[in-house]
C-alpha cells in the first residue's frame, strides 16, 4: 500500500521548498523528497541555491569585496589600515557555516509547517505514484493527488574540458579553493564566470575569461554591458570574446587550454580552470517510462504557463522547466502551483523577472533592453542618471555606474530599467514594483525618495525620461 498525500514535491531547492511550505500553509497534506547530501555526507535541504549556488557564491563575493575595499579604498576615506591579509580557509569555513545555517533553517521550516520529509531519491510513475529510495537503500511507495517536480539543474560539461578533481572544476569546485590560484582560466564569461572570476581575482588570481560569443553579456542592455566590461577590465579581469576552446591538457599541476579566435590557434597555461558554460535541466532517473511527463527538445520538462506538465496533476517548477534559471523565478512558480492546487488562480509574470549579476559594480535589470524595444519597433524615450552625480554615491566613495529607464514614448509606461552600480541588486526591486503596477516614468518621478540614497538615481533617471532630472545637465528639457 502506498502512503497517500495531497501533494508530493520532488526536490527541496528554492522552487520545491517554496511549493511545499505554501502547500502546507494552505492545509494540504504535503510531503517533500530530497536526495542532496551535503559536505559531510549529511542530508541537506535548499538545493543548488543554498548548497552550491546563490548563497555560497554571495558569501565569497561579499568577503572578497570587503577585503579589496579595506585594502585599497578605506584610505580614500581617511581610515588607515595596514597589513590587510586574507585567510582563505577561514573565508571558506565561514561560507560553509552560512550554508549550513540556512540549509538547516529550511529543514526547520519544513518541519514547523508540517511537511513530511523523505531523504533519498524519488522516481515518478503513472498515476502520480512516487517510488522512494532512502539513502540506506530502503524503499517506500508514495502516492498523491498532485505531484510537483522541482529537480533543478546541473552544470553543463563540454568535451574539450573534462572535469578533474582539482584542476578543471565546475562552479561547485570553484567555491572551495583553499588558496587563490596564481593564474585562473574561466571558460564562459556569463553570470557564474563573472561572479566567481571576481571572487578569485579579488583574492589575488590573475583571471582570464574565455567566452565563445563575440558579444559581452548579451542579455544585458548594451550600454550597461559596455560599462561593465570597462570596469572588469580596470579590475584586472582579462575577458577574451569570440574564443572557441578546443582542448585541455594537464601536465603536473598545470592546465594548458587551447582555443581559437579570429587570429587563429592559441593556448594559455593555468593553475586552475573553472568551466562555467551554462546549466542544464536535471531529470536523471526521475521519470518512469509510463510517467506521462514529456520533455522539450532541450531536455526541459514541458509545462504550460501554469507549470502543468502533460501528465494530469503533475506540475514542474524551477530550473527544470523553461524560463530563466533563477532561484526567485522558481520560488514564484512553486508558490503559484501550490495556490492553484488549493483552488486559487495566481499567475507568474514572466515579463518581470529581475536579473542580477553580483559583481562590483552590481548589474541589475528588469523588462526590455533598449535593443529589444528598438527591435520591437516601439517608439521610446530613455532617461539615464550617472551615479557619479549622486550625493550618496560620492559620500560612499563609490560612484561607478548609471541608472537607465526606458519608457514608451506615447504612454510613458516603463518598459525596462537597467542599473549598474553599488547596490543595484537592492534598487532593482523598486523598478520591479513600479513596473508590476504598470507605472509610468512620471509616476516614479512623482514618488518621493529618501535623501540621500542611491535609489535617488532611479528617481532622477525616471525624471530624465522627460528631461526633468535635477542633478544632470538636460538636453531635452521640457516644461
Of the candidates 9, 28, 35, 103, which one interacts with ligand FAD according to CB under 6 A? 35
Which residue's CB is nearer to ligand NAD, number 21 or number 217?
Answer: 217
Binding mask 36-75 for ligand FAD (x = CB under 6 A): x----------xxx---xx--x------------------
Nearer to ligand FAD, 334 or 445 (CB): 334
Which among ligand NAD, ligand FAD, none contacts residue 10 (Cβ within 5 to 8 A by kind)?
A: ligand FAD
Is there binding between residue 50 and ligand NAD (CB under 6 A)?
no
213 belongs to the binding site for ligand NAD (CB under 6 A): yes
171 touches ligand FAD by CB under 6 A = yes
In the complex, minimum distance from the CB of residue 435 to ligand NAD, in angstroms, rounded to a whole number: 19
Number of residues this chain uses to bind ligand FAD (CB under 6 A) = 35
Among 7, 276, 338, 420, binds ligand NAD (CB under 6 A): 276
Cα separation, 289 vs 295, in Å, equals 12
- Residue 33: CB minimum distance to ligand FAD, A: 5
Does 5 bind ligand FAD (CB under 6 A)? Our answer is: no
Among 65, 125, 328, 451, the active-site one is 451
Contact between 34 and ligand NAD (CB under 6 A)?
Answer: no
Applying CB under 6 A, does 325 fall inside the site for ligand NAD? yes
| Among 11-19, 80-88, 238-246, 294-302, the segment contacting ligand FAD (CB under 6 A) | 11-19
Cis check for the bond before 199: say yes or no (omega within 30 of 0): no
Stretch that binds ligand FAD, among 225-233, 319-327, 364-372, 447-455 (CB under 6 A): 319-327
Looking at beta carbons only, is 169 or 407 nearer to ligand FAD?
169
357 in contact with ligand NAD (CB under 6 A): yes
Does residue 10 interact with ligand FAD by CB under 6 A? yes
CB of 425 to ligand NAD, least distance (A): 8
Q: Is 125 a catalytic residue?
A: no
Stretch that binds ligand FAD, among 5-13, 108-116, 337-345, 465-473 (CB under 6 A): 5-13
Q: Is 121 in the site for ligand FAD (CB under 6 A)?
A: yes
Give the active site residues: 451
Q: Which residues bind ligand NAD (CB under 6 A)?
A: 158, 187-193, 195, 210-213, 245, 276-279, 324-326, 356-358
Amino acid at each position: 500500500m502506498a502512503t497517500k498525500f495531497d501533494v508530493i514535491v520532488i526536490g527541496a531547492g528554492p522552487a520545491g521548498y517554496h511549493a511545499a511550505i505554501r502547500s502546507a500553509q494552505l492545509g494540504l497534506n504535503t510531503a517533500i523528497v530530497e536526495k542532496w547530501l551535503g559536505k559531510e555526507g549529511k542530508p541537506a535541504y535548499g538545493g543548488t541555491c543554498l548548497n552550491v549556488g546563490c548563497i555560497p557564491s554571495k558569501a565569497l563575493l561579499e568577503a572578497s569585496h570587503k577585503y579589496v575595499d579595506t585594502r585599497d579604498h578605506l584610505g580614500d576615506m581617511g581610515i588607515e589600515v595596514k597589513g590587510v591579509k586574507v585567510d582563505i580557509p577561514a573565508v571558506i569555513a565561514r561560507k560553509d557555516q552560512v550554508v549550513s545555517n540556512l540549509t538547516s533553517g529550511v529543514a526547520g521550516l519544513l518541519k514547523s509547517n508540517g511537511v513530511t520529509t523523505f531523504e533519498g531519491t524519488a522516481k515518478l510513475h503513472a498515476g502520480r505514484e512516487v517510488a522512494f529510495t532512502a539513502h540506506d537503500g530502503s524503499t517506500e511507495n508514495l502516492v498523491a493527488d498532485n505531484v510537483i517536480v522541482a529537480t533543478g539543474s546541473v552544470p553543463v560539461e563540454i568535451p574539450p574540458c573534462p572535469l578533474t578533481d582539482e584542476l578543471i572544476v565546475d562552479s561547485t569546485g570553484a567555491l572551495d579553493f583553499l588558496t587563490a590560484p596564481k593564474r585562473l582560466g574561466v571558460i564562459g564569461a556569463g553570470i557564474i564566470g563573472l561572479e566567481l572570476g571576481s571572487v578569485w581575482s579579488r583574492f589575488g588570481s590573475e583571471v582570464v575569461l574565455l567566452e565563445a560569443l563575440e558579444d559581452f553579456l548579451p542579455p544585458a542592455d548594451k550600454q550597461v554591458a559596455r560599462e561593465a566590461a570597462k570596469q572588469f577590465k580596470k579590475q584586472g579581469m582579462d575577458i577574451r570574446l569570440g574564443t572557441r576552446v578546443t582542448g585541455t591538457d594537464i601536465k603536473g599541476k598545470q592546465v594548458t587550454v587551447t582555443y581559437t579566435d579570429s587570429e587563429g590557434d592559441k593556448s594559455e597555461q593555468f593553475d586552475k580552470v573553472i568551466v562555467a558554460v551554462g546549466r542544464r535541466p536535471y531529470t536523471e532517473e526521475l521519470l518512469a517510462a509510463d510517467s506521462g511527463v514529456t520533455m522539450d527538445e532541450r531536455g526541459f520538462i514541458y509545462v504550460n504557463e501554469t507549470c502543468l506538465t502533460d501528465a494530469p496533476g503533475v506540475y514542474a517548477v524551477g530550473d527544470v522547466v523553461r524560463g530563466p534559471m533563477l532561484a526567485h523565478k522558481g520560488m514564484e512558480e512553486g508558490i503559484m502551483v501550490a495556490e492553484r492546487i488549493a483552488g486559487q488562480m495566481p499567475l507568474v509574470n514572466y515579463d518581470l523577472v529581475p536579473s542580477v549579476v553580483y559583481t562590483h559594480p552590481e548589474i541589475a535589470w528588469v523588462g526590455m533592453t533598449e535593443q529589444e524595444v528598438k527591435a520591437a519597433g516601439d517608439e521610446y524615450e530613455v532617461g539615464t542618471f550617472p551615479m557619479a552625480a549622486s550625493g550618496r554615491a560620492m559620500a560612499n566613495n563609490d560612484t561607478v555606474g548609471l541608472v537607465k529607464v526606458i519608457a514608451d514614448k506615447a504612454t510613458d509606461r516603463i518598459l525596462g530599467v537597467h542599473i549598474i552600480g553599488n547596490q543595484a541588486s537592492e534598487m532593482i526591486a523598486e523598478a520591479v514594483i513600479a513596473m508590476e503596477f504598470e507605472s509610468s516614468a512620471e509616476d516614479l518621478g512623482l514618488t518621493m525618495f529618501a535623501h540621500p540614497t542611491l535609489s535617488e538615481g532611479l528617481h532622477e533617471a525616471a525624471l530624465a525620461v522627460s528631461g526633468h532630472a535635477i542633478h544632470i545637465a538636460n538636453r531635452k528639457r521640457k516644461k
